[in-house]
Amino acid sequence: MSSRRPRSVVPPYLLRAVAAAPEDRFPRAASAARTALASMDRVQAPKQVTGLRAPRTAGAPDTSPQRTIATAAGTTTLPGTVVRREGEPDTGDAATDEAYAGLGATHAFWLDVFGRVSIDGAGLPLDATVHYGQEYDNAYWDGQRMVFGDGDGEVFRRFTIAVDVIGHELGHGVTQYTADLVYQGQSGALNESMSDVFGSLVAQYAAGQTAEQATWLIGEGLFTDAVHGVALRSMRAPGTAYDDPVLGKDPQPATMADYVETTEDQGGVHLNSGIPNHAFFLAATAIGGPAWVGAGQVWWDALTSAEVSASIDFAGFAGVTVRAAATRFGADSAEHAAVAGAWRSVGVLS
């Protein structure tokens, strides 16, 4: 596979803003963000996790989630100590039980909507570690497991609190096992967008929401009340998720007119993902009803299409979705028109 860099839900540009915050406002958060930034290179190598489970047996996969939650107990040692396995009752620890529920909601979404058994399609066990580090300001997928920090309590709450964040990170696993989009430039922004799309759909499916009812916010509830913001990102209106006097304004573009050319953050993967995110929102709301029934099916067809190369750009992927919509719903369908119109609206297609 092309890349094994862990995928973190909080982008480095936001962590840098927190790290630079005056310590008289966010003393713990500034220190925690600096630690999270410094750890990013250290956690780039995927972890070799052994000893938690027996190997999967051959034959038809077990369609149950097969969850195991461990705790790092404030250390950065993975996998940590197992505190809850599949089928066991709530522990009373919020992070453990939220992680368990979020993994279950994500598993149910993929199985019920796409008939996919776990993120690899073959029953891969879903492992997670909670209470990672001291006030760790992030959550990430390291290629094998989910890892959750508890947040600093000043800017960020614990990262298990938002089911779309769990869906987002496991979405990176799904992409890893399908198109394996290169985590750089436009293909990397598509990689991030896929996780936002399917993370949002996990939350919408769990809540029984239609496209019109959904908030289309990613990481809603992660910010504390001290932050002037509602989420990490907005698919409905990229660039509006937060506007804080200390942390600054959400920098995501919504259209190609504001595309960001940068060498940071793997070529702006967390920034420019706002453009395909907005295209999905436009397509989903134009089609209406549950988003996983309309636009979600089209995006899944595209992600698993032989036409999608690991280094595909926005225009290439947009073309695949338009053709996928025509194949699934018909060239004269409202769904096909909605998908094509969405990509034109964000300036990817003319």
pTM of the shown model: 0.93
185-345 CATH: 1.10.390.10
pLDDT band at 47 (very low <50, low <70, confident <90, very high): very low
55: pLDDT strictly greater than 50: no
Among candidate residues 98, 135, 154, 169, the one labeled active-site is: 169
Angle 63-64-66 from CA coordinates, rounded to 5° = 120
> Which pair of structure tokens corresponds to residue 45?
């190598």
50: pLDDT strictly greater than 80: no
169 flagged as catalytic: yes
> Which pair of structure tokens corresponds to residue 38?
């410094």
Mean pLDDT for the chain overall:
92
Q: At what angle do helices 12-19 and 27-42 cross, to 10 degrees?
A: 140
pLDDT band at 308 (very low <50, low <70, confident <90, very high): very high
270 flagged as catalytic: yes
> Domain limits of the chain?
7-177, 185-345
pLDDT band at 40 (very low <50, low <70, confident <90, very high): confident
89: pLDDT strictly greater than 50: yes
293: pLDDT strictly greater than 70: yes
pLDDT confidence of residue 172: 94
The Cα 160–Cα 155 span in angstroms is 15
39: pLDDT strictly greater than 90: no
Percent of the chain with pLDDT over 70: 93
Inter-residue long-range contacts of 90-96, CB under 8 Å, 24+ positions, other chains counted: 93/130, 94/158, 94/160, 95/130, 95/131, 95/148, 95/150, 95/158, 95/160, 96/69, 96/71, 96/130
pLDDT confidence of residue 286: 98
Can you say how many angstroms the Cα of residue 181 is from the centroid of all Cα atoms in its chain? 14
Percent of the chain with pLDDT over 90: 86
49: pLDDT strictly greater than 80: no
pLDDT confidence of residue 7: 78
* Tens digit of each residue's pLDDT (9 = 90 or more) over 215-235: 999 999 999 999 999 999 999
Q: Kindly give, in sequence order, each residue whose CB lies less than 8 Å from that of residue 32, ignoring residues fewer than 6 positions away.
A: 18, 134, 135, 136, 137, 151, 152, 156
Residue with tokens 């999270």: 36
Architecture, CATH, for domain 7-177: Roll (3.10)
289: pLDDT strictly greater than 60: yes
> Which pair of structure tokens corresponds to residue 58?
């051959």
The dihedrals phi and psi of 347, each to the nearest 5 degrees, come to: 85, 10
CA dihedral for 229, 232, 238, 243, sign (positive or negative): positive
Among candidate residues 270, 278, 335, 336, the one labeled active-site is: 270
pLDDT confidence of residue 143: 87
57: pLDDT strictly greater than 80: no
pLDDT band at 58 (very low <50, low <70, confident <90, very high): low
* Tens digit of each residue's pLDDT (9 = 90 or more) over 155-198: 999 999 999 999 999 999 999 999 999 999 999 999 999 999 99
* Tens digit of each residue's pLDDT (9 = 90 or more) over 94-127: 999 999 999 999 999 999 999 999 999 999 999 9
Looking at the chain, list the stretches that DSSP marks H as alpha helix, in order from N- to C-terminal side: 12-19, 27-42, 94-114, 163-177, 185-207, 265-272, 274-287, 295-303, 314-329, 334-345
